[in-house]
Structure 1
């Protein structure tokens, strides 16, 4: 104990790097970087925060630029000086640790679909369009609400549904799909797919052209998919089926496509295979306004913007919402207890003032009195 030495110096650079690369929790890496200035410099200079994030999300490409935006002004660009280079490394360290933290701590999960973009085919447009999948009910405006593909003789022909999410950066945990049950057809057939797969990425079209024409939106060459999930089997049941990703994934660009693979149900009137979907949900959370993504040019260069001021506002809003929910729950419980207490005390007061109440009949006949004062089980039930 008399001999005090820096652990990193005692282990050496190579051994210290081998230890830190085995950390899988961003909180641990943040604690290491807060021990001392020399430890922080070692962590940031070696990019352990970026390495940790890329190990958990190897599909994420390198960002061409990471800018930190404050309420006053945007930070300076990376220059040739040592100070500018260190500022860039620190910025990357904060951003990648924040991304890793968001991936590892799911909360505030909600449906992240902003709008439907395109379906690979539609049997009867617009009555059976993809827009109907945003409606949670099977009936809307007094008519069935669902999307239907075009009919195919080959059950192996796939279909796809493409959606835009609420922001360019979203963490997606699971996708929920409800196949449609044709309750107006004989036997109530369910037009599900055999399996599903999910792809996430960004559009190569300019922002003003994302919804110009259906043909442009449908072309696969106009999208770059950074993430592809494994295939999930779908059951032929009219329920909201949940498909949870192996790990939460970041949707870079805010575009999600559902690939519906294989068909199982024929329509009796034309002997063709169809796929019909009643409702779709993308469960996750948006990283905006703390993080935003810019897609630069048709080459698909990705620039990331980080707003630490927005992060503090998000935390304060989330804390206020949690406190409001807790306060509301406590107020409801307290009101219920006060109501029960009031009812209890009213009973005590009445019993004390009036005493036990006895009902006496005029002729003294207990049976007749019971008949006059009582009623049948049906009457009591009605009362």
Structure 2
């Protein structure tokens, strides 16, 4: 510490290498911020050595997948002035300090986790589409209105053929702790077989396509092309977890919390254990419910795909910290947000177009998530409305 009584500074008493070793021992983001507030010399030392980014990487190694980090402000920044290269570098380091200090705090936040799935992108195969669509896996019950609710793979003659279910999360930036999968028990077949997989593995990443151009499974389209691996950059692949042949929501805790950069999760189902005892005697995998448990870092943090190669850029929106409050006011038709002069909404012509674009994307995803909760992921019709169940449906 700095001793005002004798004018001594810890940083001047030991070598820079020893000081760096001491600062790297700080594992709480709040401690690092407090250290940077001790004095100007301490702040220069913390900022100049990128300790906030180093701490972020230690907490969450997935941060290394970002090619760069940018700060996006609500109001346009003044035009650049002539600056020395040293001044430019100092400003860049200060910016990185702000971004990664706040990110480190968000990574260790104690906010409660929830199911983060927003939409189904597609499945590697579906036996009877759309009746056994991946959309059914968003319904927590295995039967709705006395009708079974589950996804079924296509049948295979060999037990080692894998399948996959791909989902879009409700945020570009989610910390995922665990994934839960419930195999389906065919209570309408002899012996009540459970169509689990032998094991599961989880992939996380982002689409290479620009935001807004990705597609989701619909009642008319199985969306098989949208799940091809070449359309994604996978930034994390989990180890394999054995799956029990039990009709329960099985929890697969990840070895560490993972930052899902881009909001896409693929559940890979490895190996088959159950043949259909009637009809075709082939191997199937059936899932009735899936959850991705985590918490969102948006809207303060968003992701932009920088080019067709799929490189990701971390976007920090400091003005979006109170965005949820503003959203609530907008949803209620209130103009009270104008009362706060320091953070009031400015005229659209003077605001940052990039800030508004990122915020609009967040609001759209948030609106879709709310609608999914209110309306439910699926609608079942009575048998009279659909003409009954087909006689050639193997799971009828």
- The correspondence for 2:203, drawn from 199, 206, 219, is 199
Please show how residues 96-115 of structure 1 align to structure 2 within 5 Å: 96-115=100-119
1:106, distance to aligned residue in structure 2 (A): 3.5
The secondary structure found in structure 2 opposite 1:207 is coil
> In structure 2, how many angstroms separate the alpha carbons of the residues matched to 1:259 and 1:92?
36
Instruction: Find out whether 1:304 has 2:308 as its counterpart.
Output: no
> In structure 1, how many angstroms separate the alpha carbons of the residues matched to 2:165 and 2:99?
32
> In structure 1, how many angstroms separate the alpha carbons of the residues matched to 2:34 and 2:310?
35
Instruction: Find out whether 1:246 has 2:255 as its counterpart.
Output: yes
- In the superposition, relative to structure 1, how do residues 101 and 21 fare at CA in structure 2: closer, same or farther (>3 Å)? same
1:72, distance to aligned residue in structure 2 (A): 2.2
Aligned residues of 1:216 and 1:222 also touching (Cα < 8 A): no
Equivalent position of 1:217 in the other structure: 226
Aligned residues: 318
- The correspondence for 2:141, drawn from 132, 137, 143, is 137
- The correspondence for 1:24, drawn from 13, 22, 27, is 27
1:215, distance to aligned residue in structure 2 (A): 4.3
The secondary structure found in structure 2 opposite 1:246 is strand
> In structure 2, how many angstroms separate the alpha carbons of the residues matched to 1:148 and 1:130?
8
The secondary structure found in structure 2 opposite 1:101 is helix
Equivalent position of 1:43 in the other structure: 46
Aligned residues of 2:203 and 2:265 also touching (Cα < 8 A): yes
- In the superposition, relative to structure 1, how do residues 76 and 35 fare at CA in structure 2: closer, same or farther (>3 Å)? farther
Equivalent position of 2:244 in the other structure: 235
Equivalent position of 1:289 in the other structure: 299
> In structure 2, how many angstroms separate the alpha carbons of the residues matched to 1:102 and 1:241?
28
Please show how residues 330-341 of structure 1 align to structure 2 within 5 Å: none
The secondary structure found in structure 2 opposite 1:59 is helix
1:241, distance to aligned residue in structure 2 (A): 1.1
Aligned residues of 2:197 and 2:269 also touching (Cα < 8 A): yes
- In the superposition, relative to structure 1, how do residues 74 and 19 fare at CA in structure 2: closer, same or farther (>3 Å)? same
Q: Which structure 1 segments of 5+ residues have no match?
A: 319-383
Aligned residues of 1:67 and 1:75 also touching (Cα < 8 A): no
Instruction: Find out whether 1:273 has 2:276 as its counterpart.
Output: no
- The correspondence for 1:9, drawn from 12, 20, 23, is 12
Greater shift in the superposed pair: 16-25 or 39-48: 16-25
Aligned residues of 1:170 and 1:250 also touching (Cα < 8 A): yes
For the aligned residues, what is the CA RMSD? 2.5
- In the superposition, relative to structure 1, how do residues 111 and 274 fare at CA in structure 2: closer, same or farther (>3 Å)? same
**Cα shift readout 1:323-377 (whole Å, capped 9, x = no counterpart):** xxxxxxxxxxxxxxxxxxxxxxxxxxxxxxxxxxxxxxxxxxxxxxxxxxxxxxx
**Cα shift readout 1:306-333 (whole Å, capped 9, x = no counterpart):** 1222224559999xxxxxxxxxxxxxxx
Aligned residues of 2:171 and 2:297 also touching (Cα < 8 A): yes
The secondary structure found in structure 1 opposite 2:19 is helix
TM-score, with structure 1 as normaliser: 0.77
1:177, distance to aligned residue in structure 2 (A): 1.0
TM-score, with structure 2 as normaliser: 0.75
> In structure 2, how many angstroms separate the alpha carbons of the residues matched to 1:64 and 1:245?
25
The secondary structure found in structure 1 opposite 2:88 is helix
> In structure 1, how many angstroms separate the alpha carbons of the residues matched to 2:199 and 2:63?
25
Q: Which structure 2 segments of 5+ residues have no match?
A: 329-396
1:245, distance to aligned residue in structure 2 (A): 1.3
1:252, distance to aligned residue in structure 2 (A): 0.5
The secondary structure found in structure 1 opposite 2:62 is coil
- In the superposition, relative to structure 1, how do residues 189 and 208 fare at CA in structure 2: closer, same or farther (>3 Å)? same
1:205, distance to aligned residue in structure 2 (A): 2.3
Larger Rg: 1
Instruction: Find out whether 1:187 has 2:191 as its counterpart.
Output: yes
Aligned residues of 1:67 and 1:74 also touching (Cα < 8 A): no
**Cα shift readout 1:128-166 (whole Å, capped 9, x = no counterpart):** 110110111112244111000111121111111000011
